[in-house]
Amino acid sequence: MHVDMDAFFVSVELRERPELKGRQVIVGFPEGRSVVLSASYEARALGVRSALPMATAMRMAPSAVVIEPRHGIYHEVSTQVMALFNSITDKVEPLSVDEAFLDISGALRRLGEPLHIGAMVRRQVESQLGITASVGIAASKFVAKIASTRCKPNGMLLIEKDRTVEYLHTLPVQALWGVGAKTLEALQRLGIFTVADVAATPVAVLKKTLGAGGVALHNLAWGIDPRPVAPVRVEKSIGAEETFAVDTFDDDVLTKELLRLSHRVAGRLREAGLAGRTLALKIKYADFSAVSRSKAMPAGIDSAGQIYAGATELLRALGTRPQSVRLVGVRVESLEPASSAPLQLALDPREDNGRSAEMVGDAIAAKFGAAGIVPARLLKTVRTNLDQNSRETF
């Protein structure tokens, strides 16, 4: 079973603003180079989709209501969604914050037929969380994912095992995993436009055109996908990046953003109970060319101070920048459980104090929310008037 929330971020927001139901709604920051994070189906009907630049989305749907994202709330609801899934079966493979594969084969005797279980999941999602979900049920992960996509929004589709190939061969070739714009162009040059066309094409022809991907595509066209649901997914890396509203050469702007990103990444590492031994910096220039640099750390890191120190060192090592910078990103790789990873001890006690302060911040954020907890350097300057005299408060 593949269960996918419908317009997840929008749906969560509409729980508190039901008067917006049925309207064009977009979740995203309305200024700068922000992108759409989620869009209601009314907005999607006009072509608005996730990852579309907000400026483009606003031209396509000028009357849409724009809601700034609240990631803390989405994370909380996502946790509830996954807990609900785990009450159905212990074989749950999350794909993102709002979708997962569930192997329900072991739950059939206890909970009934697949359609009954799917209906129960949809009912519980709506009654307990106030949002809706679409459910695809099939004999394989690939086909279940297709089914949930085809029945959106707020629907359910069961594709019987013995009718899998028959169903797949009614679909356009774009339905297959791995068929992006370039692959589609290559296939169309061969006269391949449907899944049935792929199935009828000799493997040797597909392999010559697409390499090893041609074999995988041919298997999918025949419904062959033996991958099991994998309940334990090991994070390979944790990172964050930010696109500037205006390209910049300013080192102060770059290092401030690195500090912000370092705290974001460190918080996610500690929340996941992970530490990493490799630190990577990503820079994207105004012409969209990108450069990455990484360094091995002597021990596992999970603190913003360590990440920031390493990231700024990598930035300095790049030397003079040939162009203004459009995007900067930080990533920690080679992850392992923090409990088993020897953490790097600092000679300067202030560094250990900094990590301890971050952990206190984690506890405060968990209880009261993280909106007001930022490094002092990142506090915005606010100008206020008092007795006709201006002063700056920080």
Which of 29-33, 175-179, 215-219 holds the top average pLDDT? 215-219
Catalytic site residue from 99, 166, 185, 235: 99
pLDDT at residue 391 tops 70: no
pLDDT value of position 219: 94
CA dist 219 → 146, 159, 197, 328 (Å): 15, 18, 13, 39
Establish whether the linkage from the previous residue to 153 is cis, with ω within 30° of 0.
yes
Q: What mean pLDDT do residues 160-186 have? A: 93
Give the per-residue pLDDT at 385: 40
Q: Domains of the chain (ranges plus CATH)?
A: 1-92+104-133 (3.40.1170.60), 165-221 (1.10.150.20), 237-346 (3.30.1490.100)
Per-residue pLDDT band at 356 (split at 50, 70, 90): low
Over residues 27-38, the mean pLDDT reads 85
Asked if 99 is an active-site residue, the reply is yes
pLDDT computed for residue 348 by the predictor:
46
Is 98 one of the annotated binding-site residues? yes
Bridge pairing between strands 92-96 and 274-285 = unpaired
Residue 388 has pLDDT above 50, yes or no: no
pLDDT, tens digit, for every residue of 193-245? 999 999 999 999 999 999 888 999 999 999 999 999 988 655 678 999 998 88
Running DSSP on this structure, what letter comes out for residue 174? G
| pLDDT for 364 | 60
* Structure confidence by residue, pLDDT tens digits, 263-290: 999 988 888 888 888 999 999 998 888 8
Is pLDDT above 70 for 129?
Answer: yes
User: Which pair of tokens denotes residue 193?
Assistant: 């436009």
State the pLDDT at residue 33: 74
Least confident of 34-38, 120-124, 196-200, 271-275: 271-275
Q: CA-CA distance, 349 to 144, in Å (whole number)?
A: 53
Count of Cβ atoms closer than 10 Å to residue 37 Cβ:
20
Contact between 45 and 57 under an 8 Å Cβ cutoff? The reply is: no
Could you give the CA distance from residue 327 to residue 284 in angstroms, rounded to a whole number? 5
| Highest averaged pLDDT of the listed ranges 125-134, 291-300, 344-353 | 125-134
Residue 373 tokens read as: 């907890």
Q: Quote the percentage of the chain above a pLDDT of 70.
A: 85
Tokens (6 digits) for 5: 């929330």
pLDDT of residue 372: 53
Higher per-residue confidence, 355 vs 158: 158
Tokens representing 391 are 């002063």
41 has a pLDDT exceeding 80:
yes
Question: Higher pLDDT residue, 300 or 344?
Answer: 300
What are the phi and psi torsion angles at 215 (to 5°)?
A: -65, -45
At residue 363, the pLDDT reads 61
Q: How far apart are CA 279 and CA 272, in angstroms?
A: 17
Compute CA distances 140 → 91, 220, 285, whole Å. 14, 10, 42
With a cut of 60, say whether residue 349 has pLDDT above it: no
* Residue 348 labelled as part of a binding site: no
Across the chain, mean pLDDT equals 86
